[in-house]
Chain A
């Protein structure tokens, strides 16, 4: 038989049972579209996170107190307390390492902030003037923290947009006195940037000089030290130097953990990739369900066309030809379903990208090829049993079938 004839014959059978064919196509289409959309969401999340990290600069090295072991974590990593704290002096010495461009010590806490009777709880971030460049933040008004020694406290602060709106309303906050805990700070600037940084919303922050924050929270220790290397290539060297230097200062004990953006990035990359695969796998199950549906419909089709199969045999069709005809029917169904599923999926992704422009939702090529491939394979596998059953029908009984 000629391939075109097989297709024409199959198509004439499919188009005679429109509703059945349509239902089948919809089942297959949903399965394929689910894979396309879900992997696009997973892949979009991965790309989104990577973009966010990249915007922080890949030269960043984060030093935190406490040694995290290769197995398990010492609780100190989470509490931020170790026998030997990181101090302002530690931070200052890091500046001496060649290849270090700038550093910013971090102290984090939470306190009540108020202005003219309006008050709220707010995260307080103690840091230095270099934090602005290090985090690529922009100012909406005023100045950032003054460039002074880390040990020097000053009663000044920079606030995020949310704090400005909630406490000051329409008043220009620059020059006003803000009460943090039981101390007063003059507001010298407002941050314009959005987004999150070290788990905190930038717009929610009140930023003070590091020594002032240490005074508020009554602690000499630092939560983190952010170090920016001059180039990405010197990052490994800088890490070694930091480890050495702190070890020497901490009586030979290596009690710090150093995280690089690359490490965080690759971890997130791995997690989100795994998530994407998992979601794709779950969606693939819906294709198996569609496959079982194909099998059912093919069995019904064969039962309804028993006399036709008998006729084909009487007209000289071999078992092989009948298998080919019915397998083609199943595969054609699956392929058309896969094709419409691809179109639907791509369309859905376009809509998602349109609604959330920041979220790069587009299905990876492997997912598209995989989804279409699995769909057709499903048609073949689940069409095989019904096709074989058709081929093995007894022609006399089949012809007598009403």
Chain B
């Protein structure tokens, strides 16, 4: 459960204050499927970063699963991200020196999980995404679609309650895009909240709830 109330985010660029988010209020229930669309610079990514605890709002209240997170320390934010939030990026952000399965194990490794359990869970997730046969390949030996599937496996292996995807199909061809969106929707049906930031209206329209942002404000929420 995500509850944002009156969120402002201001950046100081030179001697000017840029209002990236202005008075944003948003509630996302467990299992929701949202798309956030809007022109460049409208605050989509900033909103996603605030929700993902990578950025702190200048003003406003943010409750994640009934816990006020605006006052948490950096380390508390890190451990909250670890267990509750899965990130999916436009450029996949896989570590090129690690194999696919090692990339998927990375969040569990950071959490200090037992190696055997780590490997079991990673294999299970890779299998459910139909890329277990690529487990020992390095990212540069995988296609874009396969890389994004490994990244989705990494984002979901800790069983987060929310998946935040920033332009997940921005770097993929039509066919792979379709596959990736289908996988994300499948995960959403399993109960994870899904928030997708996208430029692509076709993908945006698939979401149950569509949010349109302009100049740091939510203009439309359906």
| A1 partner residues in chain B, CB cutoff 8 A | 109-112
**Contact count A vs B, C-beta below 8 Å:** 67
Which residue of B is nearest A392, CB measured? Answer: B74
- Contact A318:B54 (CB < 8 A) given known A1-B112, A5-B109: no
**Bitwise interface map of B from 69 to 84 toward A, beta carbon under 8 Å scored 1, else 0:** 0000011001111110
A308 interface residue per 8 A CB criterion = yes
- Residue B55 CB within 8 A of the other chain: yes
Total chain B interface residues with beta-carbon distance under 8 A: 29
A164 CA to B137 CA in the complex, in Å? 81
**Is B171 interfacial (CB-CB < 8 Å)?**
no
Judged by a CB distance under 8 angstroms, whether A369 is at the interface is no
Of B82, B109, B158, most A-chain CB atoms within 10 Å: B109
Question: Of residues 309 to 352 in A, which have CB atoms within 8 Å of B's CB atoms?
Answer: 310-321
- Could you tell me which residues of chain A, from 272 to 322, have a CB within 8 Å of some CB in chain B? 307-308, 310-321
Q: Please judge, given known A-B contacts A396-B54, A399-B89, whether A315 and B107 are in contact too, CB under 8 Å.
A: yes
- Which candidate, A8-16, A48-56, A84-92, is the interface stretch facing chain B? A8-16
CA distance in complex: A13, B52 (Å)? 27
Q: List B residues 58-114 near A (Cβ within 8 Å).
A: 74-75, 78-83, 87, 89, 93, 95-98, 102, 106-107, 109-112
Majority-rule SS of A interface residues: helix
Tell me, yes or no, whether B210 is within 8 Å of chain A by CB. no
Contact status of A307 and B93, CB under 8 A, knowing A314-B52, A315-B107, A316-B111? yes
Tell me if A16 and B97 are in contact (CB < 8 A): yes
Residues of B within 8 A of A310 (CB): 93
* Assembly CA distance A316 to B106 (angstroms): 10
CA distance A317 to B93 in the complex (A): 15
Q: Does B49 contact A (CB under 8 A)?
A: yes
Shortest CB distance B135–A (Å): 16
Is B95 within 8 A of A317, CB to CB? no
- Cα A314 to Cα B81 in complex, Å, equals 7
Q: Closest residue to B106 on the A side, CB-wise?
A: A315
A316: chain B residues at CB < 8 Å are 78-83, 107, 110-111, 158
A57 within 8 A of B: no
Closest-CB distance, A402 to chain B (whole angstroms): 9
Identify B54's interface contact among A307, A312, A314, A320, CB under 8 A: A314
Cα–Cα distance between A308 and B98 once the two chains are bound (Å): 12
Q: A1-B109, A396-B54, A396-B55 are in contact. Are A315 and B81 (CB under 8 A)?
A: yes
Query: Given A1-B110, A313-B54, is A318 in contact with B79 using a C-beta cutoff of 8 Å?
Result: yes
Q: Please tell me if A71 contacts chain B, counting CB pairs below 8 Å.
A: no
Nearest 9 CB-CB pairings of A with B: A316-B82, A318-B75, A16-B97, A318-B78, A315-B107, A316-B81, A311-B93, A395-B54, A5-B109
Which residues from chain A sit less than 8 Å from chain B, CB to CB? Answer: 1-2, 5, 9, 12-13, 15-16, 307-308, 310-321, 395-396, 399
- Chain B contacts to A: CB under 8 angstroms: 49, 52, 54-55, 74-75, 78-83, 87, 89, 93, 95-98, 102, 106-107, 109-112, 115, 154, 158
